[in-house]
Amino acid sequence: METSEDHGNGELNHLTKKPRLTRFITESAIADEFAHHQPGVARINNGSFGSCPGSVLSSQREWQLKFLRQPDDFYFNGLRKGILRSRTLVKDLVGAADVEEVSLIDNATTGAAIVLQQIGRAFAEGRFDRNDAVLMFHCAFQAVKKSMEAYVRRAGGSVIEVRLPFPILCDEEIITEFRKGLEKAKSNGRKVRLAIIDHITSMPSVVTPVKELVRICREEGVDQVFVDAAHAIGSVEVNVQEIGADFYVSNLHKWFFCPPSVAFLYCKKSGSSLDAHHPVVSHEYGNGLPTESSWIGTRDYSSQLAVPTAFEFVNSFEGGIRGIMKRNHDEVVKMGEMLAESWGTNLGAPPEMCASMVMVGLPSRLYVTSDDDALRLRSHLRAYYGVEVPIHYQGPRDGEDGVKDEYGIVTAYVRISHQVYNTLDDYCKLRDAINQIVDNKKTCKTLLIE
Ligand SMILES: Cc1ncc(COP(=O)(O)O)c(C=O)c1O
């Protein structure tokens, strides 16, 4: 890491540096790294916005100052080199064949725009027939669904949605629904131009059998496959060559400790990805997506440049990012089971279909019967209990009984997460808050919000 200490006299700094007493980061050093978190809040929603340690924020600040000190020199001699270094580290982490397959972009939403705009252009330019289909899960992230509306449906494409079974017991349930969706997409002789597969769905959160789904797409002649893996890097093992999709996007600011916002988009070399362009067109248009993405006009590129410091941070933990992933997974499952036992409910998916987030059924006596109810409960937990956790409403489907607790049908699930800064207290706070609401005979309809 290049810190402010390294400027000037590196040797002297080396001599005056404090010796490190343990090989791995200590509990108190972890607490220091996240000392900027608002005290008193049980943050069990790492999934939405991620988290960034102090050392990475300092590095980001250094990059910002480097630019401001001498912008021209930085533009001509520092920026590209710095971004290439970040891309190379990501390329090695995700097993891409070539660094030219890896672009750094702002976020998964930008990745979706890049992929869907090239599909939209193919419709608009008559390379695809009107009504050719694009496939995605019904619970695809809202930004992706809206992008589908903006770039694909308006250009003449048909959008087919695959229902994600939930609560769920095994991969086979997803595979069966996905095959049904593909059949529907291919009906009337339509071609399937794109399938979007979530690696880890957002709400409800489930790890999908992504490799198998990509394989089925290939077998069924789907033109392009885009994996929306917004939550993947830092929470599950990723090897883009083994997964085999044309496009794979993952945020580095969610589970890989980078500052907001930075993501990588992998575009498999060869074939269809060649028409992919950054939605913001600047001087580098036509020079390949990685180069286009590394200059989209004057702005702050520091989050892309701070990526190597995030690698240093994860490597200060035993087992590096894999060690973090495993411990987060084990802990979040344990905490999920503790909550389910206290509330008399269930996990929404088995542990092997979860990464660092787990869905836990909420007591039916909360009477959550709409998305608005779920949001009201979430706001109440934030305002009155200092607990930050997303809540998913799952209405019973026609002809299905639904999962029950002692008092009725479970209609809502909390999505809990575990990251290195979490402690047992965070989950106990959530458990006690829900138990208190139920014991006081309140339902989500009568809860106050600020
Ligand atoms: C599955 C999925 N896709 C896309 C996104 C969008 O990520 P971002 O807001 O960083 O663009 C999210 C965010 O949570 C997500 O969960």
CATH number of the domain residue 405 falls in: 3.90.1150.10
Q: Is 50 left (phi over 0), alpha (psi -120 to 50) or beta?
A: left
Q: Are residues 204 and 236 in the same domain?
A: yes
In a shared domain, residues 174 and 285: yes
Instruction: Return the structure tokens found at 337.
Output: 């089971």
Specify whether the backbone of 221 is left (phi greater than 0), alpha (psi in -120 to 50) or beta.
left
Q: Could you tell me if residue 276 is inside a domain? A: yes
Ligand 1 atom 7: the closest Cα is on which residue? Answer: 108
Separation of CA 337 and ligand 1 centre (Å):
26
Asked whether residue 192 falls in the same domain as residue 88, the answer is yes
The residues, ordered by sequence, that sit 6+ positions from 227 with a Cβ below 8 Å of its Cβ are 196, 197, 198, 199, 210, 214, 243, 245, 247, 248, 249
Domain end, chosen from 259, 292, 310, is at: 310
Q: Domain check: are 285 and 349 in the same one?
A: no
Is 204 among the domain residues?
Answer: yes
Ligand 1 first shell, C-beta below 6 A? 48, 107-109, 141, 143-144, 198, 202, 228, 230-231, 251
Residue 300's closest CA among 106, 130, 134, 126?
106
206 close to 232: Cβ distance less than 8 angstroms: no
Are 270 and 331 in a shared domain?
no
Query: Which single residue is written with the structure tokens 């109810």?
Result: 373
Do 353 and 207 contact (CB within 8 A), yes or no? yes
Asked if residue 159 and residue 267 are part of one domain, the reply reads yes
359/354 Cα distance (integer angstroms): 9
Task: Give Cα 316 distance to the centre of its chain.
Answer: 23
pLDDT value at residue 21: 57
DSSP H or E segment with residue 152: none
**What domain count does the chain have?**
2
pLDDT value of residue 322: 98
300 and 332 belong to one structural domain = no
Q: Which atom of ligand 1 is nearest to the CA of 254?
A: 10
User: In this structure, is residue 241 part of a structural domain?
Assistant: yes
Q: What is the 3-state secondary structure (H, E, C) of 356-403?
A: CEEEEECCHHHCCCCHHHHHHHHHHHHHHHCEECCEEECCCCCCCCCC
* C-alpha–C-alpha distance, residues 435 and 113, integer Å: 43
Q: How far apart are CA 295 and CA 429, in angstroms?
A: 45
> Rounded to the nearest whole angstrom, what is the distance from the C-alpha of residue 419 to the centroid of ligand 1?
18
Q: Is residue 266 part of a domain?
A: yes
CA distance 344 to 13: 57
Given this model, what pLDDT does residue 271 score? 55
pLDDT computed for residue 272 by the predictor: 54
Q: Are residues 264 and 332 in the same domain?
A: no
Beta strands in 167-243 (DSSP E): 192-198, 224-228
Q: Which of 310, 334, 354 is the last residue of a domain?
A: 310
Task: Cite the DSSP H helix spans in 244-346.
Answer: 252-255, 289-293, 302-305, 307-315, 320-343
Domain carrying residue 106: 81-310
Strands (E), 299-433: 357-361, 387-388, 391-393, 412-417
The structure tokens 């660094």 sit at: 99
3-state secondary structure (DSSP) of residue 82: helix
Handedness of CA 125, 127, 131, 135 (dihedral sign): negative
In a domain, 59, yes or no: no
| Distance in Å, CA 69 to ligand 1 centroid | 34
Nearest protein CA to atom 12 of ligand 1, as residue? 230
Rounded to an integer, what distance in angstroms lies between the CA atom of residue 77 and that of residue 284? Answer: 17
Considering the domain boundaries, does residue 195 fall inside one? yes
Q: 230 and 285: one domain?
A: yes
Q: Are residues 159 and 286 in the same domain?
A: yes
Would you say residue 37 lies in a domain? Answer: no
Domain boundary among 310, 335, 355: 310
Structure tokens at 6: 């390294």
The half-sphere exposure of 80 on its side-chain side, counting CA atoms within 13 A, is 10
Q: Which atom of ligand 1 is nearest to the CA of 202?
A: 16
CA 106, 48, 378, 407 torsion-angle sign: positive
One domain, residues 286 and 185: yes
How many angstroms separate the alpha carbon of residue 254 from the centre of ligand 1? 9
Q: DSSP class of residue 234?
A: T
Question: Cis omega before residue 261 (within 30°)?
Answer: yes
Q: With a cut of 70, which residues of the chain have pLDDT below it?
A: 1-22, 271-273, 450
Ligand 1 atom closest to the Cα of residue 263 is 10
Instruction: Put residue 154 in one of left, alpha, beta given phi > 0 → left and psi -120 to 50 → alpha.
Output: alpha
Q: d(Cα 317, Cα 323) in Å, to the nearest integer?
A: 7
The residue to which tokens 């769920």 are assigned: 168
Rounded to an integer, what distance in angstroms lies between the CA atom of residue 125 and that of residue 122? 5
Distance 230 CA to ligand 1 centre (A): 5
Max CA separation in the chain (angstroms): 73
Which CA distances in Å does 303 have to 144, 254, 258, 260?
Answer: 23, 13, 7, 6
Which residues, at least 6 apart from 39, have a Cβ–Cβ distance to it below 8 Å? none
- CATH number of the domain enclosing 292: 3.40.640.10
Protein residue with its CA nearest to atom 16 in ligand 1:
202
**If you measure from the C-alpha of residue 370 to the centroid of ligand 1, how many angstroms do you get, rounded to a whole number?**
22
Tell me if 108 sits within 8 A of 141, measured CB to CB: yes
| Ligand 1 atom at shortest distance from the alpha carbon of 203 | 16
Rg for the chain (alpha carbons), in Å?
23
- The helix/strand/coil state of 92 is helix
Taking residue 9's Cβ as centre, other Cβ atoms within 10 Å add up to: 11
- Map tokens 């002692």 to a residue: 406
One domain for residues 134 and 187: yes
- What global pTM score does this model have? 0.94
Query: Is 60 a domain residue?
Result: no
Q: What does the alpha-carbon distance between residue 132 and residue 122 come to, in Å, rounded to a whole number?
A: 11
User: In angstroms, what is the span from residue 442 Cα to ligand 1's centroid?
Assistant: 33
